[in-house]
Amino acid sequence: MEHNPTSDIQKRKAIYGVGGYNAAMKKALEHMTTVGDAIHHGAELFEAAGLYFGHGTDNAWDESLSLVLYALSLPWNVEASVQSRQLTEAEQSVIAALFERRIDERVPAAYLTGEAWFAGVPFYVDQRVLVPRSPIAELVESEFTPWLPDAPQTILDLCTGSGCIGIACALYLPEAHVTLSDISTDALAVASQNIARYELEERVETLESDLFSSLQQQRFDLIVSNPPYVDAEDLADMPAEYHHEPEIGLASGLDGLDFTRRLLSEAPDHLTEQGVLIVEVGNSWVALEEAYPEVPFLWLEFERGGHGVFLLTAQQLRDCRTMFGAV
Ligand SMILES: C[S@@+](CC[C@H](N)C(=O)[O-])C[C@H]1O[C@@H](n2cnc3c(N)ncnc32)[C@H](O)[C@@H]1O
């Protein structure tokens, strides 16, 4: 599944006509005299180029804003009055170069800026990890109320990627000890960088593990996971932006459930008596319900959007154990 920038440029030329894109970009740059102009023209160019948004922002304006603020080293909460500030020529060139990479190569803005926000917290990201965007952020922000019997003392963030879920858990639940596990050493290097950023070394550790294989007998009050769950059909249809993300973080077999099947059968051995398992399976929730019609998945709802996140208690997993072995 190679990303092909040449084909993106051809598509772009098809949209603008040969040379039309350059003219549109040149025109935009000529009119980019203030910060506000730059944000405005970036959003226009992104819309016109038919970019996909969904890696940290969901619209052209926010995507442009994030690149402009990054280029100017300005924080997210800068005063709106900054929009009237004049840009220097050097600043214009930096912004133009970012816009061009976003359009020509379809690189998600988070990879260009090296930062993505999750549960109100900024995380370092690069192409070794998925851009954080799980709706599980909402559960973390509410400290998993009302879904857990007590505040969890031990948490496993399985398939941690950048570490966003587990590190946010540690920040919202200051009593918790958190293990961040992933099969990818590259991802764990990014997660370690984020642990250091928040000085959480005493409560948060990383573990290289294929699912539970390195965990031996360890049990947790909460296992939370955003694993790979994209099915073959969705994978083939994904916009170019997704092809900058590690495929190991997305693909999970024909029906998207290869990983989740293993997880369900092994999770009971790694939960405490009152433990809880929370897993995102996105669009694969339909296939999961079909595969295990008897399992009482509790599908959680989200105020800010997102779907396909289920909860099962340790007791429910134990009760259903024979079904997981059977499929
Ligand atoms: C969807 S990404 C999620 C990253 C992060 N939790 C987030 O929400 O942004 C899935 C992660 O699962 C990891 N992974 C894939 N197969 C795995 C396996 N067999 N065992 C452990 N981790 C695995 C990938 O390396 C990737 O970092």
| Closest among 144, 161, 162 to 153, alpha carbons compared | 144
Q: Ligand 1: distance of its center to the CA of 50 in Å?
A: 29
Tell me the Ramachandran region of residue 114: left when phi exceeds 0, alpha when psi lies from -120 to 50, beta otherwise.
Answer: left
3-class DSSP state of 272:
strand
**How many whole angstroms from 187 Cα to the centroid of ligand 1?**
8
Domains identified in the chain and CATH numbers: 5-111 (no CATH), 115-326 (3.40.50.150)
277: left (phi over 0), alpha (psi -120 to 50) or beta: beta
CB 161 within 8 A of CB 325: no
Which residue puts its alpha carbon closest to atom 26 of ligand 1? Answer: 249
* Cα torsion 242, 243, 249, 255: sign: positive
**Taking Cα atoms as reference points, which of 251, 271, 252, 323 lies closest to residue 294?**
323
Q: What is the 3-state secondary structure (H, E, C) of 60-114?
A: HHHHHHHHHHHHCCCCCCCCHHHHHCECCHHHHHHHHHHHHHHHHCCCCHHHHHC
Amino acid at 34: T
Q: Is the pLDDT of residue 60 over 60?
A: yes
Our mutation pick for probing the ligand 1 site, out of 131, 183, 194, 263, counting the most ligand atoms within 8 A of Cβ, is 183
* Cβ proximity of 168 and 137 under 8 Å: yes
What is the residue with the minimal CA distance to atom 10 of ligand 1? 249
Confidence of residue 325 (pLDDT cuts 50, 70, 90): confident
The set of protein residues with a Cβ atom below 6 angstroms from ligand 1 is: 129-130, 132, 134, 159-162, 164-165, 182-184, 187, 210-211, 226-228, 248-249, 259
Residue nearest to atom 4 of ligand 1 (CA): 161
Model confidence pLDDT, tens digit, residues 83-134? 999 999 999 999 999 999 999 999 999 999 999 999 999 999 999 999 999 9
Strand partners, 220: 271
Helix axes 35-48, 60-71, angle to 10 degrees: 140
> What is the distance in A from the centroid of ligand 1 to the CA of 304?
23
**Ligand 1 atom at minimal distance to the Cα of residue 131:** 9
pTM: 0.91
200-249 pLDDT, tens digit each: 999 999 999 999 999 988 999 999 999 999 999 999 999 999 999 999 99
